[in-house]
Chain A
Amino acid sequence: MSHTGPSGNGAGAVLHLDNVTRVHGQGAAEVQALRGVDLKVHPGEFVAVMGPSGSGKSTLLTLAGGLDTPSTGQVLVEGVALGGLSRKRLAEVRRRSVGYVFQDYNLIPALTAAENISLPRELDGLSTRAARREALAALEELGIRELADRFPDDMSGGQQQRVAIARALIGDRRLVLADEPTGALDSTTGEAVLAVLRARCDAGAAAMMVTHEARHAAWADRVVFLRDGRMVDESASQDAGSLLVAAAANAKGPVGE
């Protein structure tokens, strides 16, 4: 698959993790969370990150979202190195270019679902009315339009999770980052959410999702594996149409009666 897009320092990548490391603590308590990871996510691409607990998955995601700073190496979002930005500019990039789905949702308890979702757009300068319209459309896309005026405390975990996803998808975010976005959802609802993420990527966005479920990771174009802070493996999907044809060709003779 060839990716073309606006070229920048990341050669068209929406997200470029350029040999990043992250060390927590010092001396004897030093923990190397990431030991040199190189990863590019291009427009239209959906990448899943898998790996055992403590492998560095979540650290990778927080670095990509500009919520944490690498010890060495750099993070580029749409060709812009986050390390060189002022706090104000960084906040702007995070708000305009990056949609982030937190594992624990991080909804603002004093705001309704629609207000939680429209807040970043209002900060972008949109009118309250226009922002609400977008928020309702996002809720609709996730099948929870009826939750618009409910507060987080009155919602189930699964409902809050979907509101958090709607918030990450609103506006024209070029990069969606999601930490276990289907954790609180049953398998059919989880699948619907993955289909929404998939559709966003097919429409040109880039997404990176941390998950420990292979069935969910399988919605991505690429699945990368982390172990002990390193990318140890990667699998990319081939064209699906060829799969069963290949299966038929490889069939070891007739199936038994």
Chain B
Amino acid sequence: MSIRHGLLALLDQGPRYGYQLRTEFEARTGATWPLNVGQVYTTLSRLERDGLVVPAGEDDEGHQFYAATDAGRAELRAWFDTPVPRTNPPRDELAIKLAMAVTVPGVDVPAVVQGQRRHSIKALQDYTRLKARALAGESRPGGAGEPGSDLAWLLVLEQLIFQTEAEVRWLDHCETRLAKHAEVEQARAAEARSDDSPPAPTRFGRRRSKA
């Protein structure tokens, strides 16, 4: 996630100081990605080193202001004009967990899927409540309502909703895939054994009773 570009976007609208940048960043994203003020200062000093921002004086209270340079503004335009790369998909802990679960003996994979789905639906419910509140114009975590920041927050929230929904759909699909796999394995095992011992249930899917 590009804090660099987020801060440049805020500085593009005029000089700001560190704490102010943090507050405005969180107002637009609803504190979804909390930022500590130390990160803001670290990022500012790197931006300064790269010539993208310059110090722009202090106010009476001793706040150090920063302003975007022309190079900084060019960097920001380039960011908006370039798609976010999808070539290196971010590591997904859940995908890794399931990939491991189907290969590690003794893991109840359907239970892993079900537990995750319950958890994800709950998150989806909570995001949806926040969204209903946002649509009703009520307060949100992250604070000050500036022009445009409500819309920004709504978009971030909906991104979380769609992403979580996609995860739930994928989990439903996993469940069906696992059940099919289990059926195929059972049939294969039964074929391989021409003796009449009953097929052992596999751990990939609960055997489906006829409904």
Residues of A within 8 A of B (CB): 31-33, 52, 54-56, 195, 198, 213-215, 217-221, 223, 225, 228-229, 232-238, 240-241, 243-245, 247-248, 251, 254-257
Contacts and interface: CB of A to CB of B under 8 A. Distances in A.
Interface stretch (B10-18, B161-169, B182-190): B161-169
Interface in B117-171: 117-130, 132-133, 135, 141-142, 161-162, 164-165, 168-169
B49 to A, nearest CB: 13
Given A195-B132, A214-B165, A215-B161, A243 B127 contact: yes
Contact of B34 (A198, A241, A251): A251
B2 A257 contact: yes
Contact of A228 (B114, B141, B164, B208): B208
Contact of B121 (A195, A198, A217, A256): A217
Interface string B11-47: 0000000000000000000111111100100110010
B118 A235 contact: yes
Given A33-B211, A215-B124, A218-B125, A233 B31 contact: no
30 contacts: A31-B211, A52-B176, A213-B165, A214-B121, A214-B165, A215-B128, A215-B161, A218-B121, A219-B132, A220-B125, A223-B121, A228-B208, A229-B211, A232-B114, A233-B114, A235-B118, A235-B122, A237-B126, A238-B122, A240-B126, A240-B129, A240-B133, A244-B141, A247-B32, A248-B31, A254-B36, A255-B35, A256-B1, A257-B43, A257-B46
Nearest to B175: A52
B39 to A, nearest CB: 5
Contact of A257 (B4, B34, B126, B133): B4
Given A217-B121, A218-B128, 6 more contacts: A218-B121, A228-B211, A237-B125, A244-B31, A248-B34, A254-B35
Contacts of A220: 125
Contacts of A229: 211
